[in-house]
Amino acid sequence: MKANVDTVLLGSKVVLVPYRSEHVPKYHEWMLNEELRMLTASEPLSLEEEYEMQQKWQVDEDKLTFIILSREPGVLADDAGKVLPTNERLAKLPMVGDVNIFMYGTIPSQEQSSSVALTDEEEEEGFYAEVEIMIAEPSFRRKGLAIEALQLMLGYTTGYPEAFSTQFPSSSPHNLPTSPLNISPRYLVTRINDTNHASIRLFEKLGFQITKRVEVFHEIEMRYQQPIPNGHKCTIE
């Protein structure tokens, strides 16, 4: 997505950067792993095809992608102001995964987004933003990177970081740039294998609840279900 091409999101444990050509070889290496392909519903691609996909995703307006870097002590500590993806210090940080939002349908108007609840018909046919996250490097799992990456991504996407950090006050003071999307949290959805209990618990901590089970695919659907304070603007102006 062009909107985040110059955007870097800084957390205490992770740094999110746009998916750039220098990330492709590592990403391709991950996708050679059959288990990761299965978990992400990905098809095997050649390295050349992976580069083509990266270029396509960079301009697609319905896909928001960040690469997750593990933030190490001291790196970027003295950088004042905005950090750009070209900052040479970012190259020192391990690339550990990615986080994505795929948007389906037309982003609703402010009036539509301010309604109290989604009807069953709106859930089936209306706009939604599907959230996916992958920590591909096993040695970086279960260290709190996934939850902070999601807090950053969802706070940036919605323009409402408080919605995802109230249970984790130590992680809340992220200075996020202005959201180019301002999608209401009520349109966020994730789909997870019903045996992936760790991911289910992860999204529950962020305010998502199970709203549907698809037995034939052994999959559950979760949506953000927490109250949104009146007056919060979550739509494109």
**Mean local confidence (pLDDT), 223-227:** 92
Question: How far apart are alpha carbons 74 and 32 in whole angstroms?
Answer: 33
**Mean local confidence (pLDDT), 37-59:** 92
Q: Which residues contact 186 (CB under 8 A, 6 or more apart)?
A: 113, 117, 118, 223, 224, 228, 234
* Mean pLDDT estimate for the chain: 86
b/e per residue, 150-183, with b = 16+ CB within 10 A? bbbbbbbbbbbbebbbeeeeebeebebeebebbb
**Mean local confidence (pLDDT), 144-157:** 96
Provide the pLDDT for residue 65: 96
Picking from 121, 143, 163, 181, the residue whose alpha carbon sits closest to that of residue 13 is 143
The reported pTM is: 0.88
Question: How far apart are alpha carbons 55 and 41 in whole angstroms?
Answer: 20
Provide the pLDDT for residue 81: 64
Instruction: Grade residue 96 by pLDDT with cuts at 50, 70 and 90.
Output: very high
- For the chain, give every domain's residue range: 2-185
Bigger pLDDT: 78 or 35?
35
CATH of domain 2-185: 3.40.630
Inform me whether the pLDDT recorded for 232 exceeds 80.
no
**Mean local confidence (pLDDT), 31-35:** 94
